[in-house]
Amino acid sequence: MDDTILNILARQKKENPDAPVWCVTSELELSTALCMMLQAHYPSVCLVIDNRSGFARQEDMFEVVKYKLKHLGQDFSCTQIISTSYLIYTYAGSGIVAYKITIQYYNSAKEINDMLCLSRDCAAKILSVCPRDDPRHIVKEIQRWFQNNFEYRDTDSPSDHSAVDSMINGYGVCQAIATIAYAMLDACGFDARCVLGESVQNGKSGGHAWNKVKLGGVWYNADFTFGLGYTVIPNPYLLVSDASMSRDHNWDFEEYSDAANDTSVNRRRVFSESVFAFSPAIKTFMVNGAQLTLQPDCPPYIRTGTSEQIALLHLIELLGGYYEYVRETGNISMTVFGKRYIIPLRAFTKINGAYYLDVTLLPKFNFLLSRKGNLLLLAKKK
């Protein structure tokens, strides 16, 4: 980094002490940073975009940022956003622009983390009673779970749209149901999406949300909200084609085409498998070249003598993972790369409020460690 970008980063850190300040210099880095923000459910990030290479037209950059936020495969996060606001800092003639992006979710990052843990518990129970070689049975059991544990209720409260609140209350509207279903489908190992469109009832159309799920290489529709009232088989809203669903559902067929669905899922998978590069004793680290910091503000990697420690729990949030402390056992239950691991809390070292784990333990959790000069590289095992 040259003095120009370093000075801008310093100014942004001073003006935005409540938000991590990240720097990107390419389209891949921009996509990576935005994806990490959504996966970790950070409420705000200050993004400094060094566009001196001209990877996008400077006058189009704002639209590029908004488009990417919506199309990075982060369906869970996007369906739980109440509002997004931008504070723009321009530096005339420099080719550099900064955006403070503030996202208001229905719930806090911790509450979302806890809900994802609960959805994985529910998914594990479903998988325990279903043959793994019968994916249709698994999806039908998810519908049965909603029928037994959930009801559609619109109380005109924002909480009805929140996956977290609806999971706790046992009721909510289609937006919450589709988001919870997405989390459970994902926990069961399915490629899935949340669809935002319209439904038609009694000749009147209104906003509606449901899911798409991929089975045997084919994308199907699954409306768990409409399926709440169907105990007969076959359920006319579960695992049906576009032609069947379009009888009383409308949506953007291009945005949710098979090709678009595959692209969305692949984007999410690619960014969750990014390479992290750490240098000792500094608070920034690189992901696909993007310079990031953690929230809370702590060093991600600490080296003291022969000991090397990683702030693992904060890092897995950026990878779309989540964790919880199980008080009864004194263990950390952690989910990353779609797998759950149990780690004794005593294995961690607490430093200034962050929990660090010795890097030699990381291969146990499907991480691949390597080195490049003074950098420690961390990625998912292939």
> Which of 143, 211, 214, 220 is CA-nearest to residue 175?
211
Q: According to the model, what pLDDT value does residue 281 have?
A: 66
Give the residue among 291, 275, 278, 273 at the shortest CA–CA distance from 356: 278
Q: Read off φ and ψ for residue 90, nearest 5 degrees.
A: -110, 150
Task: Tokens for 192, please give them.
Answer: 């899935």
In this model, does residue 382 exceed pLDDT 80? no
DSSP secondary structure letter of residue 274:
P
Task: Yes or no: say if 113 and 324 are a contact pair by the CB < 8 Å rule.
Answer: yes
Q: What is the mean pLDDT of residues 111-123?
A: 93
Give the confidence band of 27 by pLDDT, cuts at 50, 70, 90.
Answer: very high
pLDDT digits (tens, 9 = 90+) for 229-254: 887 777 899 999 999 999 999 999 99
- For residue 140, pLDDT beyond 80: yes
* Token pair in block for residue 186: 């994902």
| 363: DSSP letter | G
For residue 333, the SS3 value is strand
For the whole model, what pTM was predicted? 0.91
* Across 185-208, average pLDDT: 94
Reported as a single tens digit per residue, the pLDDT across 283-316 is 899 999 999 998 878 899 998 888 899 999 989 8
- Could you tell me which of 317, 354, 359 has the C-alpha nearest to residue 334? 317
| Structural domains in the chain, sorted by start | 3-105 (3.30.110.10), 109-270 (3.10.620.30), 273-380 (no CATH)
Confidence of residue 271 (pLDDT cuts 50, 70, 90): confident
For tokens 């935002």, name the residue. 196
